[in-house]
Homo-oligomer: A and B are copies of this chain.
């Protein structure tokens, strides 16, 4: 029998730490939505959102659809993670499945609008129970990819809203990397990258100097995708090279 093809998605969002019952000094944390399985194998266990690939639907489309169905949201960033298809994957006794897994980042505003359906629950990424199949391993890999990519790319803003302060952006780095980041050096690096432009607006409210609000420069690709990058659209406003 030919292996079944499925698409799953590891969905990350930054949410306030609800573990310590709203104590002071709570940093946000990485959360991800999981779905409870209603049949064997792994009946009753938590699993990544996903399902079979529909006809006339691309792999990334399937990931987006799954994401929308389980959370009601659209991601700020979506990337293929890996195709898992070993013959000895856990659960293969009930039918062999090849899973193409994507991972996604959800913005701050969207994150707390998420519809948590009956079978869906958000869990803290660093305190997951035993998941169905090899999904713990998959989440570990997605976390690793998120961390390495935050270090050398400009994707951290995908956890935030349209505008954000450099403190907020730095906090994303700190939470993802799990270590403090020097504010002064972080500011200079981000500014030097040119990936971010000041809006002129400021965010007040703290008992301190208001912080400049920035917006991500959409002219800059957050990640170097190489030849997988989509063909540049021939819009009249696009910057052409040697016309």
A interface residues with partner B (beta carbon < 8 Å):
1-5, 52-53, 55-61, 80, 82-83, 85-88, 96, 98, 100, 137, 140-141, 143-145, 148, 226-228
Q: How many protomers of this protein does the assembly include? A: 2
Q: Which residue of B lies closest to A59 (CB)?
A: B85
A227, B134: Cα distance in complex, Å: 12
Q: Which residue of B lies closest to A60 (CB)?
A: B86
A228, B140: Cα distance in complex, Å: 9
Q: Which residues of B contact A60 (CB under 8 A)?
A: 86
A82 near B228 with CB under 8 A, answer: yes
Cross-chain pairs A/B with CB under 8 angstroms, 5 sampled:
A2-B5, A3-B5, A59-B98, A60-B86, A82-B228
B98 near A86 with CB under 8 A, answer: no
A58, B61: Cα distance in complex, Å: 25
With A5-B5, A98-B100, A100-B98 as contacts: A87 and B228 at CB distance below 8 Å = no
List the 3 closest pairs (A to B, CB-CB), nearest first: A144-B226, A140-B227, A59-B85
A85 near B53 with CB under 8 A, answer: yes
A3, B53: Cα distance in complex, Å: 8
A137, B83: Cα distance in complex, Å: 19
With A137-B227, A144-B227, A148-B226 as contacts: A85 and B98 at CB distance below 8 Å = no
Q: Which residue of B lies closest to A138 (CB)?
A: B227
Q: A3-B5, A83-B83 are in contact. List 10 more A-B contacts (CB 8 A).
A: A1-B55, A2-B4, A2-B52, A59-B85, A60-B86, A80-B83, A85-B100, A100-B100, A143-B227, A148-B226
B82 near A145 with CB under 8 A, answer: no
B227 near A96 with CB under 8 A, answer: no
A227, B103: Cα distance in complex, Å: 15
Q: Which residues of B contact A80 (CB under 8 A)?
A: 82-83
Q: Which residues of B contact A143 (CB under 8 A)?
A: 227
A82, B102: Cα distance in complex, Å: 11
B87 near A141 with CB under 8 A, answer: no
A53, B100: Cα distance in complex, Å: 15
Q: Which residues of B contact A226 (CB under 8 A)?
A: 140-141, 144-145, 148
